[in-house]
Chains A and B, each alone.
Chain A
Amino acid sequence: MKSFALLMLSSLLTGCFTTTLSAPDHMPVRIMAENEKASYQNEYKDWYLLGGLLPIYRHDIPELIRQEKLVEVRVRTEDRISDGVITFLTDYIIPLFPQTIVVEGNTAEQLKAQVRSVPTKSP
């Protein structure tokens, strides 16, 4: 009975991991398509407690965009097996719930470089 209650509680608490892709204020940023080339790629981990209910460390995507000077961006959220392993290993102490955020994009310079690298057809 106690185990069932624990399972129910943990299931109820699965609902709060949130990632928002938005731009910094007053900064023009384009959303990229999935198949476009991205020169910038970085992975971040957001950390939660209580099954995702309580964020303890969450990356601010607009701030990342501003810091990296990205002019176009796309994001992927993943719950990896490694995230599950961390939750499993910390389960008996304080269960931590990480979520992986993959940010991809281009700065203005990287875009220019991509345009330059495209071969032009000779007449």
Chain B
Amino acid sequence: MHFRADQGPDPTRMKSHAASTRGCHAFLAMVLCLQLSGCGVMHLNAPPQSQVRLMSKGETAEIKVERHAWFKYWGGEPFNPEDVNASTIIKEQGLKEARIQMTNTFVDGLYSIIPGIFGFPRRTLIVEGNRVLHTPDGTIVDANPQGRQGSDASKIEVGK
């Protein structure tokens, strides 16, 4: 703030300062909006021609895969289209039943500080599931599933 000894605060300079502060806030708000409003479309779906049962929240999942999807143009386009589809993970893991979560983790937020400002936000996709099909009540339907067999991992976590 600038003062003149004889007249007190300079109204012109005060207006200019206020306008500059408003402009700065508007710019910050716009950057934040861009960070958050990039389309960043995530698909919670299954592979084509597949029969994947949707699991409920309380069911036990032996496999948990967490994968990060990076976008360019503030979320307008993914770097790798396969990363934004849960079907990719379901197919890779040979899951017969799954539940899917899309989230922006705290780490995604941290990554958004610099890359996000320049238009490269990140999202996280978490797929949990089983390679053996159960009924919703927990009875095994498909005890000898096709695809990946013989892995005795009670809890397999695969990251990227």
Please give the residue numbers on chain A whose beta carbons come within 8 Å of chain B beta carbons, in ascending order: 3, 6-8, 10-36, 51-52, 62, 73-81, 83-85, 87-88, 91-92, 97
Contact = CB atoms under 8 A, between A and B. Distances in A.
Given A7-B31, A11-B112, A17 B103 contact: yes
A19 B126 CA distance: 10
B109 A23 contact: no
B98 to A, nearest CB: 7
26 contacts: A3-B24, A10-B32, A12-B106, A18-B102, A18-B104, A19-B44, A21-B99, A22-B56, A22-B100, A23-B53, A23-B55, A30-B53, A32-B46, A33-B47, A34-B87, A51-B32, A51-B36, A74-B43, A74-B44, A77-B102, A83-B36, A84-B34, A85-B33, A85-B37, A91-B25, A91-B32
Interface in B75-121: 75, 85, 87, 90, 98-110, 112-113, 116-117, 121
A52 B32 CA distance: 12
A20 B58 CA distance: 13
B101 A29 contact: no
Contact of A21 (B44, B108, B113): B44
A103 to B, nearest CB: 10
B33 A15 contact: no
A33 B136 contact: no
Interface of B: 24-25, 28-58, 75, 85, 87, 90, 98-110, 112-113, 116-117, 121, 135-137
A37 B100 CA distance: 20
Given A7-B31, A33-B50, A80-B37, A23 B136 contact: yes
Given A21-B100, A34-B85, A14 B107 contact: no
A76 B41 contact: yes
User: Which has the most chain A C-beta neighbours within 10 Å: B32, B58, B87, B135?
Assistant: B32
A22 B37 contact: no
B134 to A, nearest CB: 10
A87 B37 CA distance: 9
A20 to B, nearest CB: 5
Residue in A8, A14, A30 whose Cβ sees the most chain B Cβ within 10 Å? A14
